[in-house]
Amino acid sequence: MTTVREAAHRLEAAGVASPLHDAKELFRHAAERSLDVNELVAARAARVPLQHLLGSAGFRYLDLAVGPGVFVPRPESELLVDAVLNAIRDVDRPRVVDLCSGSGAIGLSVAHEHPEAAVDLVESSDDALPWLRRNADGFGNVRIHHADLDAAPDDADGAADVVVSNPPYVALDERDLVDPEVRDHDPGHALWAGADGLDVIRRVVARAVTLLRPGGALVIEHSDRQGETAPAVVSAAGFTAVTDHLDLTGRPRFVTARRPC
Ligand SMILES: C[S@@+](CC[C@H](N)C(=O)[O-])C[C@H]1O[C@@H](n2cnc3c(N)ncnc32)[C@H](O)[C@@H]1O
């Protein structure tokens, strides 16, 4: 029987970023479910994402079901939820649209932490939808739209208080920079966004112009290489108060702005 320490060494040798943490999680999971821990460790050493092996990902107060076909939510995206909650703090029954929802991490967190909000979740992927539906089960204040971000919701033009999005934003030439867990297991439609990685961000910004009420807030995640280019896209669309924000590691991570009144 492998020990936690041996498993951690194996994961470290395979290039896993947090080997001891992952080994402990796999041992805990195997014990709880009577699974073969050696198989789990071998899969993790082959760089299958930890969250796929556990079947879930923690995000703020939620435990989201994830697996093949859906993007694994990242800790840095938790900050976007704070920005949304801040923007709707004084709004009566706010309306929030989460474009490119994936597992629902951002939109469902807003719905959970601000139960008076009405949240529209827009996701185009057939493969992500089952995960999104499963995670949204039991929420009374969300609507799921299986649609392109240009097409839904079709009843919110000029009425949204906040548009939030963590869209695909990896440039095509950054393929060699991403970890095997991401390259081989996150869905391609969740990652790639043209030569400069801004193709979908441009579309989100254009859509937000239509969806937001005057004075409404825009919150968009971007890569740490887009700390100047993503805000420039937002400014060029006529938004005001364009501000870029760092993540917990001090890297540029998301932009906020207001639609002019
Ligand atoms: C980086 S993932 C983020 C998922 C989730 N918001 C999160 O933070 O974990 C981007 C998501 O956008 C979806 N997507 C890509 N293009 C889209 C489009 N044109 N319309 C709607 N969803 C889209 C992908 O399927 C994927 O689920």
Q: Which atom of ligand 1 is nearest to the CA of 101?
A: 6
Query: How far, in Å, CA of 90 to CA of 218, rounded?
Result: 16
Q: Give the number of other Cβ atoms within 10 Å of residue 139's Cβ.
A: 17
136: three-class secondary structure by DSSP: helix
Interval 55-102: pLDDT, tens? 999 999 999 999 999 999 999 999 999 999 999 999 999 999 999 999
pLDDT of residue 208: 98
> Looking at residue 223, what DSSP letter applies?
-
Interval 137-169: pLDDT, tens? 999 999 999 999 999 999 999 999 999 999 999
Query: How far, in Å, CA of 179 to CA of 177, rounded?
Result: 7
Distance 56 CA to ligand 1 centre (A): 18
Average pLDDT, the chain: 97
pLDDT of residue 1: 59
Instruction: Residue 211: name the closest of 166, 151, 169, 167 by CA.
Output: 151
pTM of this prediction exceeds 0.85: yes
pLDDT of residue 191: 96
Half-sphere exposure of 69 (CA within 13 A, CB side): 12
CB within 6 Å of ligand 1 — which residues?
Answer: 71, 73, 77, 100-103, 105-106, 122-125, 128, 148-149, 166-168, 189-190, 200
pLDDT of residue 2: 82
- Which among 63, 189, 207, 222 is the best mutation to test ligand 1's pocket, defined by most ligand atoms within 8 Å of the CB? 189
Structure tokens at 260: 């002019």
Q: Give the number of other Cβ atoms within 10 Å of residue 78's Cβ.
A: 17
Interval 220-238: pLDDT, tens? 999 999 999 999 999 999 9
> Phi-psi bin for 250: left (phi > 0), alpha (psi -120 to 50), beta?
left
Q: Which atom of ligand 1 is nearest to the CA of 122?
A: 21
Which percentage of the chain shows pLDDT scores above 90? 97
Structure tokens at 28: 């805990």
pLDDT of residue 153: 96
Query: How far, in Å, CA of 220 to CA of 27, rounded?
Result: 37
